[in-house]
Structures are given as C-alpha cells and as structure tokens.
Amino acid sequence: MSLLQGEYVPSTQGWVRDQVEEYESSGGERANTLRGGQDPIVVITSVGRKSGALRKNPLMRVERGGKYLAVASVGGRPTNPEWYYNFLANPVVELQDGPEPRLYRARLLEAEERADWWDHAVRTWSTYGEYQKRTSREIPIFVLEEV
C-alpha cells in the first residue's frame, strides 16, 4: 500500500515492472541492485503530472546524511525521463530503501549545491559521469528530503 494517493499504473517496460514488484514484495531484500550488477537501487513512487496515477521507478541508491538523490540521467539520452516532470509537478514522492517506504520532498538542485551533490553522485556510481558525456543537456538531479 502506498503512502501516496492514486491508482498504481505499472510501467510499460517489463523489466521495471518486474523489478519493482520483486523489490516491494520482498521488502527490499530481492531485486535491490541494478540489473546484472552489485549496485544498489531504491524504488521511488511519484504522482503522474497528467494522469494522477502512481508511477514507480527503480533508481540508483545515492544517499548522504539521510537525503537521497534522484538523477534524471536516462543513460545519457537527450531528453529527461517522465518522472522528472512528475517530480516538478508533484514534489512529494515515496522512496523505499529496504522494507518501509517513506515520504520525501523532491527539490531540483542548481548551482553550487548541484555541483556538490553531482560530485557525490559520480563518486557513488561513476557511470553518471559517462552518461553526462553522452548528452549536451545538464543532467538534472533532485535531492529528496524526508517530509
């Protein structure tokens, strides 16, 4: 059961649906790493800006001091992921890192604060640096602070 209001509409991408389902059903004990690797993920639920439906996405686990990052990298593609727009329209999201989901407020980072967190993101998962090289857009990042 979600802490957010709305009907859950699973992703159209099979791997996302499967990972979210396995992660949530196991309380974060299974499907808690990036596909085929050792890198930990969290599951973030957002409210769709158009539909109002709940959308769930596995994202890399980047945490510092009880705050989390949501990095809108999409592997370095030229456009932002759909959840980026959901976060802007409805900044209260649910993040599950382990057995219990909690509510967080997402805030888009800019300037020095973004640079500091970006460095932390790349130290946590170096592939983000490679993704930035693949695109001309500055990859947006949100800090998620518990509500």
- Mean pLDDT across the chain, nearest whole number? 97
- Tell whether the model's pLDDT for residue 5 goes beyond 80: yes
E-strand spans in the chain? 41-47, 54-60, 63-64, 67-71, 92-96, 101-108, 141-146
Residue 10, phi then psi, degrees to nearest 5: -60, 155
pLDDT band at 36 (very low <50, low <70, confident <90, very high): confident
The alpha helices in the chain, defined as continuous H runs, are 14-25, 82-89, 111-124, 127-133
| Domains detected in the chain | 14-146 (2.30.110.10)
d(CA 127, CA 130): 5
The per-residue pLDDT for 124 is 96
The per-residue pLDDT for 17 is 97
The per-residue pLDDT for 2 is 84
d(CA 32, CA 40): 6
- The answer to whether residues 61 and 120 touch, using CB atoms and an 8 Å cutoff, is no
Summarize the confidence of residues 101-123 as an average pLDDT: 98
The per-residue pLDDT for 119 is 98
Chain segment 56-96, per-residue pLDDT in tens: 999 999 999 999 999 999 999 999 999 999 999 999 999 99
User: What residue type is 14 in one-letter code?
Assistant: G
Residue 36, phi then psi, degrees to nearest 5: 75, 15
- Tell whether the model's pLDDT for residue 37 goes beyond 90: no
Summarize the confidence of residues 129-133 as an average pLDDT: 97
The edge-to-edge listing of strands for the beta sheet with 141-146 is: 54-60, 41-47, 92-96, 101-108, 141-146, 67-71, 63-64
